[in-house]
Amino acid sequence: MMGIGEMGVAYRHKVTSFAVLAFIAALLSGCASSGGGGSSAPLVDTTNAPTQVGINVEPGSEEDFIVNVGRRTFFKQGSAELDETARVTLAKQVQWLQQYPQWKVKLQGFADDPGSPTQQSDLSQKRAEAVRDYLAARGVAAERMKAKGYGRDRLVGTCADIECKAQNRRVITNPQNDPDF
């Protein structure tokens, strides 16, 4: 058990510690404010620090499409049917293509599904056409689009894992600014 003198020392120690912390907090808040005689340069921290990616992406550019819209549409095994995730991506593509009518798109379909090379090619073509049809039904002019299936050519990865194979079942929407499209 502490005596009265020892309690007084412990209490003074706590009060002193609190006073020091309050003083440090006041100093820090004074440094962070824009008023007063300190530097007016903003503090750089993890919230407002400059980043190296996505800065100065020009609206309406191919980079804008890739970064802010998304160019990949994925499919389930053996299917050319658009699921809800695909429709969300494609809705963004429709909006962007309507906003920037100077762009045309190549719709490149791919497959990594069971079946012969001919079946793969046919399925990848159906996937590209499904994307084209979706975009056209929502107002993107057919003459602004070309759909082509590549089968198992240009795989993202060659592997047996289902997660890896799923990356190969896709359509890539590639914006084209070429007048000879």
Mean pLDDT across the chain: 79
Enter the pTM of the model: 0.67
Distance of CA 12 to the CA centre of its chain: 55
Residue 11 resides in a domain: no
What's the number of domains the chain is made of? 1
State the DSSP code for 67: I
Q: pLDDT tens across 28-86, in order?
A: 555 444 444 444 444 444 444 444 555 688 999 999 999 999 999 999 999 999 999 99
Mean pLDDT (whole number) for 15-35? 52
Please report the pLDDT score of residue 179 as a whole number: 76
Residue 13 resides in a domain: no
Range of the domain at 153: 62-176
Q: What is the rounded distance in angstroms from the CA atom of residue 83 to the CA atom of residue 106?
A: 21
Please report the pLDDT score of residue 42 as a whole number: 47
Residue 6 resides in a domain: no
Residue 105 resides in a domain: yes
